Structure 1
Amino acid sequence: MKPLLVGDIRKLLQGELICGSENWKVRNAIYYKRHDLTESHTLMFVSRSDTVNWQEINLKGPAFVISDKPTAELKNALPNTTVIKVASLVQSYWKFIKYYRGLFTIPVVTITGTCGKTTTKDMIKHILSKDRHIQASISSKNEPRRSLPYLMGIDDKTDAAVFEHGLGNSGNITHQCMIYQPTIGIITNIGVHHLDGCKNLEGYIKAKSEIVDGIKKDGKLIINADDENTKKVPLHSFKGKIIYFGVGMRSDFRASTIKFAKHGMDFRLHFNKRTYKAFIPGYGEHQVYNALAALAAVNEMGMDLQEAITRLATYENMTRHLEFSNGVGGSTIIDDTWTNNPTSIEAALKVLDSIGKGKNVVLVLGDINRLGTFEKKYHGEIGSMVAKRNIHTLITIGSKAEEIARQAIQDGSKATIHICKEVKGLKELLDPILDNDAILLIKGPMSSRSMIEFANSLKMGD
């Protein structure tokens, strides 16, 4: 965080000094009870309803409390704590965020989409980090409550920032855009997810579309030209620049001649009447789409495109994202336990269509969560996808995933199918079929620690 003088913040918020000194600087900002208090020199927004541990705050002093609590209660602060009283904590909170974000004129990229957010974000960070200071969200930790600490990670050394949007309910992306005020927005794709919070697919698309109005005036929007649901995003209100990526001729950043190569994908990139040879580590056409979005973003930030392509080739693919390993019995294990939704399962199956040729393909599929009243429908659709393919063995884990197996059987799948309630006993079931001719994909929800651990148990290392 850029250090700010306490007195200047009090003047900004038109607060009343209750106690303490104004002549020192804060170096961190949190919302009390939402974020952990771990550092000294911290500004904290304290709600009227919060129960305050003044001793804990004082031990981390000097500390700075901003609150709309009654004056009598605020006078309980200990000597190492500065307290100001404001008329409205909510208004003060947003006024401070607007002020702090306004201190920086750097590019800020935010990313939404059903799949590829974290990968695209990390690609952008990887490309830029060689010669720039980049602030980015950590892994896929993208919940709205994390947005304030991420914003506070921007300081005078920061050249650019890139964050992904979490979406559990409608309004989440609007909230995060108010904090980040992105100059560049990206929609990777829109599949099916979080229907419990958004009610149905139309509500989910609408929630994803919030990024359009969240981008700063004269900003850029980078979107997937080939994705059917993304085409439903209303763009009439957007006054900035729209950049399309994909494989169709409509795309500004277009990929062609996509081929599986050693440890990744070769493709040709067409942009601005020029053609570039490109490579991205990680298997699957979806990985090429992620790369196109990342390249479009860094190009808009003034990065030389050829240099960006060169740097992209050294990107290290994320763990548990279609991660290939040598497995027990000489088999190949594909660990894709990072997340689980219909879009990511379809992408993984398409990779198997190419990588699994001539192999005995084994699928271990867990529950897909957060589908609301559409659980049966979308698990069934996965079962139909499986039935169309040459699958040796299908194993489902969990009560929801049973529908995958039932639909695959109904659609005439030739696979040997096992329906399991849990991971226990699965290794004994797989041992006889995991050999040099076997390739196993394991895909389950991020919340399933047992499936993650089971995937690890099948790996033999290099």
Structure 2
Amino acid sequence: MKPLRVKDIRNLLQGELICGSELWDVREAIYYNRHDLTKRNSLMFVSRSDAVNWNEINNKGPSLVITDKPFSELKNALSNTSVIKVKSLVQAYWKFMDYYRNLFQIPVVAITGTCGKTTTKEMIKHILSKDWNVQASISSKNEPRQSLPYLTGIDENTKAAIFELGLGNSGNIKHQCMIYQPTIGIITNIGVHHLDGCGNLEGYIKAKSEIVDGIKKDGTLILNADDTNTKKVPLHSFKGKIIYFGESLKSDFRASNIRFIKNGMDFQIHFSNKKYKAFIPGYGEHQVYNALAALAAVNEMGMDIREAISRLATFKNMSRHLEFSNGIGGSTIIDDTWTNNPTSVEAALKVLDSIGPGKNVILVLGDIKRLGNFEKKYHAEIGSLVAKRNIHTLITIGSKAEEIARKAIEEGSKADVHMFKDVQGVMEVLKPKLDTQAILLIKGPMSSRSMIDFANKLKKNS
């Protein structure tokens, strides 16, 4: 965080200094009871309803409390704590965020989508970090409550920032865009997820579309030209620049001649009437799409396309994202337990289509969560996708995933099908099937520690 004088913060928020000194610098900002208080020189927004541990705050002092609590509660503040009382904490919070964001005239990328957000973010960060100090959200920790520490992680040395936008409910993306004020927005794709928070697919598309109005004036929107649901995003209000990526001729960044080769994907990029040969570690056509979105973003920031492609080739594919490992009995294990939704399942099945022929293909699928009233429908659709493929063994884990197995059987799958409530007993079924001809894909929800641990047990070196 860029250091800010307490006096300047008080003047900005038009607050009243109740106690303590204002002649020191704040070096971190948090929302009390939402983020851990770990550092000295911290600013914290304290709600009227928060129970406050004044000793904890004071021990980490000097500390700055900004609050709308009544005077009677503020008399407990200790000597190492400065307190600024404001009329409205909400207004003070947003005023501070807007002020801090606009201290920096740098490219800020915001990424949303059903799949590929984290990978695309990490690709952009990888490409830029050789030359630039880049601030980015951590892993897939993208919920709105993280936005304040992520934003204030920008300082005088930051050359670009990249933030993943989480969506649990309608309004989440709008909220985060108000904080980050992105100059570049990316929608990787729009499938099906979080229907419990958005009502239905139309509500989910509408929630994803909030990024369009969240981009700063004269900013850039990067869209998947081939994605059906992304085409439903209303663009009439957007006045900035739109860049498309994909395989269709409409794409500004277009991929062709996509091939599976050792350790990744080989493809050709068509951009600005020129062709470039490219490689990206990690398997799947979806990985190529992530790469195209990342290249479009860094090119928009001024990076030479050839240099960006060269750096992309050294990207390290993320763990548990279709991660290939040697498994029990010489088998091949594909660990895709990072996330689980219909779009990512279909992408994983397409990878099996390319590398599975001639192999003993085993599919282990867990529950898909947060589908609201549409759980049965979308689990059944996955069962239909499985039935169309040459899957030798299908194992489902969880009560919701049973619908996948039932639909696959109903539609004539020739797979050896097993349904389990949890991972107990699964290994006994699998072990006799795991040999050098076996290729096993395991996919489950990020929240399932048992499936993640089970995937690790399947790997020979774990």
1:174 match: 174
Q: Which residue of 1 aligns with 2:330?
A: 330
Structure 2 match to 1:321: 321
Q: How much has 1:425 moved relative to structure 2?
A: 1.2
Give, in angstroms, the shift of residue 76 of structure 1: 1.4
Please give the per-residue CA displacement for 1:298-354, whole angstroms capped at 9, x wherever unaligned.
000000110000000000000000000001011100000000000000000000001
Once the two structures are TM-superposed, the CA of residue 461 in structure 1 deviates from its matched residue by 3.1
Q: CA deviation at 1:75?
A: 2.0
Give, as a single letter, the amino acid of the residue that structure 2 aligns with 1:26.
V
Name structure 1 gaps, 5 residues minimum: none
Aligned residues: 462
Distance in 1 (CA, whole Å) between partners of 2:338 and 2:244 is 27
Distance 2:457 2:72 in 1: 59
- 1:56 corresponds to which letter in structure 2? E
SS of corresponding position for 2:78:
coil
Residue identity in the other structure for 1:42? S
* Cα distance between partner residues in 2 of 1:409 and 1:159: 54
TM-score by length of 2: 1.00
Whole-angstrom CA distance in 2 between matches of 1:290 and 1:47:
40
Give the structure 1 partner of residue 394 of structure 2. Answer: 394
Q: Does 1:242 align with 2:242?
A: yes
Counterpart CA distance in 2 for 1:448 and 1:68 is 40
Provide the residue aligned with 1:369 in structure 2: 369
1:69 is aligned to: 69
Tell me the distance in 2 between the aligned counterparts of 1:359 and 1:322.
17
Mapping of 1:341-360 within 5 angstroms?
A: 341-360=341-360
Aligned mates of 1:51, 1:331 — CA distance in 2:
55
- How far the C-alpha of 1:89 sits from its partner, in A, is 0.5
Secondary structure of the corresponding residue to residue 193 of structure 1 = coil
Aligned twin of 2:255: 255
The separation in 2 between residues aligned to 1:283 and 1:435, in whole angstroms, is: 22
Aligned AA for 2:158?
Answer: T
Partner of 2:89: 89
5+ unaligned residues in a row in structure 2: which ranges? none
Q: How far is 1:268 from its partner?
A: 0.3
Q: CA offset at residue 107 of structure 1? A: 0.2
User: Structure 2 matches for 1:14-413, cutoff 5 A?
Assistant: 14-413=14-413
SS of match in other structure, 2:382: helix
CA RMSD of aligned residues (A): 0.7
Does residue 461 of the first structure (1) align with residue 458 of the second (2)?
no
Equivalents in 2 of 1:146, 1:102: separation in Å? 19
Distance 1:109 1:461 in 2: 38
Secondary structure of 2:427's match? helix
- Per the alignment, in what secondary structure is the counterpart of residue 29 of structure 1? strand
Aligned partners of 1:267 and 1:286: how far apart in 2? 12
- State the Cα distance separating 1:442 from its structure 2 match: 0.3
- Letter of the aligned partner of 1:419 in structure 2? M
Deviations 1:4-36 (A, max 9, x none): 000000000000110000000000001111111
Distance in 2, matches of 1:277 and 1:439, equals: 30
Deviations along 1:388-447, whole A, 9 cap, x unmatched? 000100000000000000000000001010011110111111111111111000000011
1:424 matched to 2:424? The reply is yes
What secondary structure sits across from 2:383 in the alignment?
helix
The CA distance in 2 between the partners of 1:57 and 1:431, in whole Å, is 54
**Regions of 4+ moved over 6 Å:** none
SS in 1 for 2:115: coil
Partners of 2:432 and 2:24 in 1: how far apart? 68
Question: 1:73 offset after TM fit, Å?
Answer: 1.3
Measured in 1, the distance between the counterparts of 2:46 and 2:389 equals 56
Give the residue type in structure 1 aligned to 2:200.
N
Aligned-pair identity in percent equals 80
Higher deviation after alignment, 332-341 or 425-434: 425-434
Q: Report the Cα offset of residue 357 of structure 1.
A: 1.0
Distance 1:206 1:403 in 2: 28
In structure 1, C-alpha distance between the alignment counterparts of 2:315 and 2:435, rounded to whole Å:
31
Q: Give CA-to-partner distance per residue, 1:203-247, whole Å, 9 cap, x none.
A: 000000000000000000000000000000000000000000000
Q: Which residue type is aligned with residue 425 of structure 2?
A: G
Deviations 1:36-57 (A, max 9, x none): 1110000011111111111110
Q: What residue is the counterpart of 2:440 in the other structure? A: 440
Give the Å deviation of 1:74. Answer: 1.2
CA distance in 2, matches of 1:292, 1:281: 13
SS in 1 for 2:381: helix
CA distance in structure 2 between the partners assigned to 1:15 and 1:289 by the alignment: 49
Matches of 1:119 and 1:272, distance apart in 2: 25
TM-score by length of 1: 1.00
Rounded Cα–Cα distance in structure 2 between residues aligned with 1:129 and 1:246: 25
Residue 72 of structure 1: CA displacement? 2.1
Return the alpha-carbon distance in structure 1 between the equivalents of residues 399 and 37 of structure 2. 40
SS at match of 2:436: coil
SS in 2 for 1:406: helix
| AA aligned opposite 2:400 | K
**Residue type matched to 1:304 in 2?**
D
Bigger shift: residues 363-372 or 425-434 = 425-434
Cα distance in structure 2, aligned partners of 1:289 and 1:35: 35
Amino acid at match of 2:292: L
